[in-house]
Structure 1
Amino acid sequence: MSTTRATTKDRSAATTLLRLWPYVRPARARLFTAAFVAILASCTGLVIPLVLKWMVDGPVADGDTAGVWLGALYLLLLGFAEALLFGLRRWLVARPLSHVEAEMRAGLYRHLQRLPVAFHDRWASGQLLSRATTDLMLLRMFLAFPLTFLLVNSVTITVGVIIMLIQDWTLGLVILGPAIPVVITCMVFEKRYHRVARLAQDQVGDLTTVVEESVLGIRIIKGFGRHRSQARAFRELSGKLRGTELRKAGLLATIWGVITTLPEVAIGAALVLGCVQVADGELSAGTLVAFLSTALALRWPVESIGFLLAMTQEAATATERYFEVINEVPEEEAYSRGAGNGAPSPHEPAADEQGLRFRNVRFRYPDAPEDSPPILDLIDLHIRPGESMALVGTTGSGKTTLTALVPRLHEVTSGHITLDGEDITAMSREELRSRVAVAFEEPTLFSASVKDNVLLGMDEEELDRALSVAQADFAHALPHGTDTQVGEQGLSLSGGQRQRLALARAVVGKPRFLVLDDPLSALDVHTEAAVEAALRDVLADTTALIVAHRPSTVLLADRVALLSDGRITAVGTHHELLRTNAEYAHLMSGTGEAKDDDR
């Protein structure tokens, strides 16, 4: 289930939807024109009853056949004009609204790329997908239809009621009788439907998450024979969504029943009273025909109120969900706001401090309790220019977290990290990440070619060298060479192949600083030896921090740092620490105790 539902303020639908104005503003001219055209078309339809009145009281009463044919021609022209105007309205809104949807989707995607890793750790991917697809589709539908027709129908009902009151005010008052109960019903419906619509859209996000995880984890599900339990979980969520949709349907049926029945009763009462007035000679037959035709013409605008309000509420909840993501603070602002609340200002180290330096670095996850101990505490470490340092420690000691601080995937809670004497917080993230390359223990590949996965926009001339360093020359033997599509998550490749491509991606740009999180864990002994031999040449020209679990990886480094319970407890060469540090010797013996979490 999702843990990302935000507690939204009790805003009205109108207030919420007004937040869309900056996106709609570029298309406002066409939208206003479309609304005017729709109002004109609707009011054109209200002229038809007046023509009927003229025909009944004139040519029909006088037996004027030519007049009847003339009236029929007027009706035909009015109907044609009404259809043409509605078609023009549709043409006016189609292109700009598709552009609004595309711009909002692109803006959401850009914003997601700028949000910190902590946000993505917290939010389920299915919730984000549903906001980028289903919710934006609902917004486009709202802007295309309900937004216009709530205005159009309001104007139409107002003009129609005025016409009926002018024709006969007593019959007009009969028609207006249900107005108060209809308004009260709409107000109650709006509040209840908003809550149910929000719940349904959140449940769609939960369902999307389950489907996505099931597809990505299909090997695990099949390997453990858990397809039935997954199917049951899916049916449970699907059943909850079905129940919520039925609640929505029940509310919609209720309001539709009320706003259909009451006006129908009023029209029936007006028909009886009007017939009595015609029989008494107080009202002309043509006036009664025009009155009832106007009342019938208003049936659709009145009856449509129910689903127009429903679509408006769904659009309001979609807007809330969209801005819940947009309102999240990007990486740059998140840190600058933190700095204003006591976070350290950029550090100015001595000019001769080159390489990668950690100074009194402390880190605690943003969602951790304030009184909890930090994951990393007072880390002091200096990796000199051109030096490679292995980071060793038990599982859960904080190695992966420490490496994530260098490219600022997480922000330090306190302390400073410098590259060649420059505090990383003083650099733009673009500049920082152009200097630092990373390779993670769990390699992530995209649904793209091998070449695109390795280069990620870098110069193609570097491709062969990077593949050679990572011993990933197998890519040339794939069906289409380096243009072969690797499939989602790269699951068409073995774990070792994926890891080698991730390593090639890290070294392709000849970075000045290299952060490797146990990059050889999935390789066999012989491939590991070949990769290590090639890596030595790369490491000679870069400053590297390498998370290592095996002696063979440790031997790549010039020095070793031992991380224990979030602190650096020893630094030295591999052989020095083997002689002088019992914990390190224990780890390298292969009998080290594994803990639960390597955050």
Structure 2
Amino acid sequence: MAGFSEWIVPAPKHTYMEFYYLSDQEYQHKRALWPFLKRIFSCSLQHRKTFWLMVASSCIIAAVDAIFPLLWLSYIDDWITPAIEQYQAGGEQLALIPELIRYGGLFLGLFFVQALAVAGFIFYAGRLGEFVIFDLREAMLRKLQYLSHSFYDRTSIGHLSIRLTSDVHKVTNVIAFGFADLIFGIIMILASLVAMFWYNWRLASIVLLSIPVLLLLAIRVRVFLLGYARKARRAYSQMTANLTENLNGLLVNKTTVQEKAATGRFGKVSRQLRNASYRAAVYHSLYNPIVVVTGSLAAALVVYMGGHMALNQHTGVTIGMLAAFFGYARLIFEPIFDITSYYARAQDSLSAGERIFSLIDEPITIKDVAGVKPFGPLKGEIRFEQVHFHYVPGKPILQHFNLHIPAGQSVAIVGATGSGKTTISKLICRFYEPQQGRILIDGQDYRSRSLGSFRSQLGIILQTPHLFSGSLRDNLRYGRLDATDEEIRQALTLIGAEAFAHRLDEEVGEEGSNFSLGERQLISFARCMLKDPRILIMDEATSSVDALAEADIQRGTEKLVSGRTAIIIAHRLSTIRHCDRILLIEAGRIAEDGSHEELLALGGQYARLYAGQARG
């Protein structure tokens, strides 16, 4: 199968982020339903065999349904009516048993064929839905692996989880049975109309003219109901948010004696949900009666006109034909209900589909250009040349920023929150790229070399280390997948964590819950040691651990940075005294630069910060 990105059709004109800032009225007008359905159809066609088997099953079901009225026509006109006429004329009664067996056998045979087709239809429709859902999830996860850091800065993990789970399930309603019902409904309507026009174009015209009226009415009623359903869902979201807030703040409510107020706030949003859901249920209960009555009027008109024609022997309309037309009218009106239901489901799933496709369409801003060459083994020299960078246009973080870090030097970066120290580390990691200026690695602009070859020689240790579900061994091997147990033990010993060598088979638990924060940080050190990077970035690696764990981590840090270029962002200044060089950043510029002893002797801001922390 072709790659997912090759067959997803062009994105709708309006993206999800644009919808986010639209008013409710603008949002309704700009929702691109048909482009969404077009993309879903394109996704489905990637599994052509399953798709066409589903369509074939639909055709068989429709064909059998179309044959039933014809069978009734033959049963009534060719056997029942002559039998009655002969009996009334005083003739011999026709043999009943053989004809009953023949027609009964035909009906049973058709029911059996239809049952097999229905089973196939359900199987292939469900299979198609699962295949497409798998493709969508895989495409989203693949895109998430390569999206730039800026995307994650503006998007919460919770929202991404919703896109990969509940949003995908909502789209399933459109892809699987909703999409299949649409195809079946169209085939059924076409087959019935062909049969009706074949026998009597006048009666068929009555049914045909009623279809657009019924469709328009059903869709308008569905759209009306959808508005109330959305209000109910918004109320549900507000209730869920309030419930989550209440559960997270239970201790605060108790200590501030606000239990009654918290219960009152939840009761208010809960009542709003109850009222919105009640109104939606009331209006929804009116849908079927309205549509059924409208369809019944059309069917009644067929019976009335057909009855007149049947009484007039010159029209060619018989009792059997009238019964067949009534059956065909039912076969047409029922799929219309299914089609309008599909339209409502598609509208309901549209926002979920937009979120899914907006993620798939999200541009990758940090990527290799065509024909890029890889880095060779790095020495670790880093140079910033006249770098300008901003997250938000008009609010610069770095301007005319210059910095040179020789290979093998350990450099600590300190400064107040928002001064730009973390931005520098993100630029070095190429999570972001400068808007102006250059960043050179070993004298080469890192944008001229492949991203993978650079990051494979880069080690990053964050403030809160992340461990994946699985064994300790599996987590350590994230540093190097082919590492042997002996190499893992050596890495643990080098950073002073040899106690973990006997726990390699131990499960780390969800997000490393079976280990303390300090232990998880030591594990991340060992993982980085296995990778043996030429450039090491440590971002507040000890800021969240206690003094005892900090001492262990400090010993591990000194061994880890030895012999490689290291950039250490720190809040606790006592942890960076061993660094070759310390930079104090203020408002995106280097305010002080020197060793720990030199900066203390300078008596500037660094010396004051260090003295303040030393006093406790």
Output the TM-score relative to the length of structure 1: 0.82
Instruction: Tell me which of 308, 317, 337 is aligned to 1:303.
Output: 337
Contact 2:219 2:340 in 1 (8 A): no
Deviations 1:209-240 (A, max 9, x none): 899x87xx98x646545797998888888877
Per the alignment, in what secondary structure is the counterpart of residue 485 of structure 1? coil
Q: Residue 585 of structure 1: CA displacement?
A: 0.8
Deviations 1:272-313 (A, max 9, x none): 454455566674322222222322333422332331222233
Q: Residue 199 of structure 1: CA displacement?
A: 8.0
Which position in structure 2 is the counterpart of 1:324?
358
1:509 aligns with 2:531: yes
Distance 1:319 1:250, change over 3 A: farther
Map 1:27-176 to 2 at 5 A: 27-61=47-81, 62=83, 63-65=94-96, 66-176=98-208
Instruction: Tell me which of 5, 16, 27 is aligned to 2:36.
Output: 16
Map 1:580-591 to 2 at 5 A: 580-590=602-612
Range with greater deviation from structure 2 (535-544 or 430-439): 535-544
Q: Residue 89 of structure 1: CA displacement?
A: 2.9
Using the alignment, how far apart are the partners of 1:3 and 1:35 within structure 2?
36
1:359 aligns with 2:359: no
Using the alignment, how far apart are the partners of 2:196 and 2:334 within structure 1?
16
Deviations 1:548-596 (A, max 9, x none): 2334312120111111122101211111111114211111112699xxx
Using the alignment, how far apart are the partners of 1:142 and 1:122 within structure 2?
29
Which position in structure 1 is the counterpart of 2:86?
none
Map 1:242-281 to 2 at 5 A: 253=285, 255-275=287-307, 278=310
Contact 2:465 2:520 in 1 (8 A): yes
Range with greater deviation from structure 2 (497-506 or 53-62): 497-506
1:385 aligns with 2:385: no
Deviations 1:337-392 (A, max 9, x none): 9xxxxxxx99x9xxx99622222233211xx2x332x2233332222222111112
1:467 aligns with 2:492: yes
**1:498 partner letter:** R
Per the alignment, in what secondary structure is the counterpart of residue 386 of structure 1? coil
**1:488 partner letter:** E
Per the alignment, in what secondary structure is the counterpart of residue 482 of structure 1? coil
Per the alignment, in what secondary structure is the counterpart of residue 304 of structure 1? helix
Instruction: Tell me which of 515, 519, 524 is aligned to 1:493.
Output: 515
Range with greater deviation from structure 2 (12-21 or 556-565): 12-21
**1:287 partner letter:** M
Using the alignment, how far apart are the partners of 2:506 and 2:102 within structure 1?
72
Which position in structure 2 is the counterpart of 1:449?
471
Output the TM-score relative to the length of structure 2: 0.80
Using the alignment, how far apart are the partners of 2:164 and 2:366 within structure 1?
23
Contact 1:178 1:262 in 2 (8 A): no
Using the alignment, how far apart are the partners of 1:114 and 1:175 within structure 2?
55
Q: Residue 159 of structure 1: CA displacement?
A: 3.0
Equivalent residue pairs, number? 570
**2:361 partner letter:** N
Which position in structure 1 is the counterpart of 2:420?
398
Distance 1:325 1:302, change over 3 A: same
Q: Residue 126 of structure 1: CA displacement?
A: 2.9
Which position in structure 2 is the counterpart of 1:433?
455
Contact 2:181 2:339 in 1 (8 A): no
Q: Residue 268 of structure 1: CA displacement?
A: 3.0
Using the alignment, how far apart are the partners of 1:276 and 1:449 within structure 2?
81
**1:19 partner letter:** R
| Identical columns (%) | 27
Instruction: Tell me which of 322, 328, 331 is aligned to 1:288.
Output: 322
Contact 1:126 1:209 in 2 (8 A): no
Q: Residue 23 of structure 1: CA displacement?
A: 3.0
Per the alignment, in what secondary structure is the counterpart of residue 486 of structure 1? coil
**2:130 partner letter:** S
Which position in structure 1 is the counterpart of 2:572?
550
Distance 1:429 1:531, change over 3 A: same
Q: Residue 107 of structure 1: CA displacement?
A: 1.1
Per the alignment, in what secondary structure is the counterpart of residue 329 of structure 2? helix
Distance 1:401 1:243, change over 3 A: farther
Contact 2:389 2:398 in 1 (8 A): yes
Per the alignment, in what secondary structure is the counterpart of residue 72 of structure 2? helix
Contact 1:407 1:433 in 2 (8 A): yes
Using the alignment, how far apart are the partners of 1:320 and 1:442 within structure 2?
33
Using the alignment, how far apart are the partners of 2:364 and 2:267 within structure 1?
36
Using the alignment, how far apart are the partners of 1:22 and 1:173 within structure 2?
35
Distance 1:544 1:371, change over 3 A: same
Contact 2:54 2:125 in 1 (8 A): yes
**1:386 partner letter:** G
Using the alignment, how far apart are the partners of 2:232 and 2:147 within structure 1?
26
Using the alignment, how far apart are the partners of 1:502 and 1:77 within structure 2?
68
Distance 1:505 1:151, change over 3 A: same
Deviations 1:90-129 (A, max 9, x none): 3444444422221221111010111112211212323222
Per the alignment, in what secondary structure is the counterpart of residue 466 of structure 1? helix
Map 1:181-260 to 2 at 5 A: 181-188=213-220, 221=249, 224=252, 253=285, 255-260=287-292
Contact 1:60 1:68 in 2 (8 A): no
Using the alignment, how far apart are the partners of 1:362 and 1:576 within structure 2?
29
Q: Residue 51 of structure 1: CA displacement?
A: 1.4
Using the alignment, how far apart are the partners of 1:68 and 1:560 within structure 2?
99
Range with greater deviation from structure 2 (243-252 or 563-572): 243-252
Using the alignment, how far apart are the partners of 2:328 and 2:321 within structure 1?
10
Range with greater deviation from structure 2 (58-67 or 268-277): 268-277
Using the alignment, how far apart are the partners of 1:106 and 1:231 within structure 2?
42
Using the alignment, how far apart are the partners of 2:495 and 2:565 within structure 1?
18
Where structure 2 has 5 or more consecutive residues not aligned to the other structure, the ranges are 1-15, 84-93
Instruction: Tell me which of 313, 317, 335 is aligned to 2:347.
Output: 313
Q: Residue 330 of structure 1: CA displacement?
A: 1.3
Which position in structure 2 is the counterpart of 1:596?
none
CA RMSD of aligned residues (A): 4.0
Contact 2:387 2:402 in 1 (8 A): yes
Using the alignment, how far apart are the partners of 1:100 and 1:273 within structure 2?
47
Using the alignment, how far apart are the partners of 1:497 and 1:22 within structure 2?
49
Using the alignment, how far apart are the partners of 1:54 and 1:330 within structure 2?
65
Deviations 1:122-173 (A, max 9, x none): 1232322222223323334433323233233223223323434554555445
Instruction: Tell me which of 550, 553, 559 is aligned to 1:537.
Output: 559
Distance 1:548 1:176, change over 3 A: closer
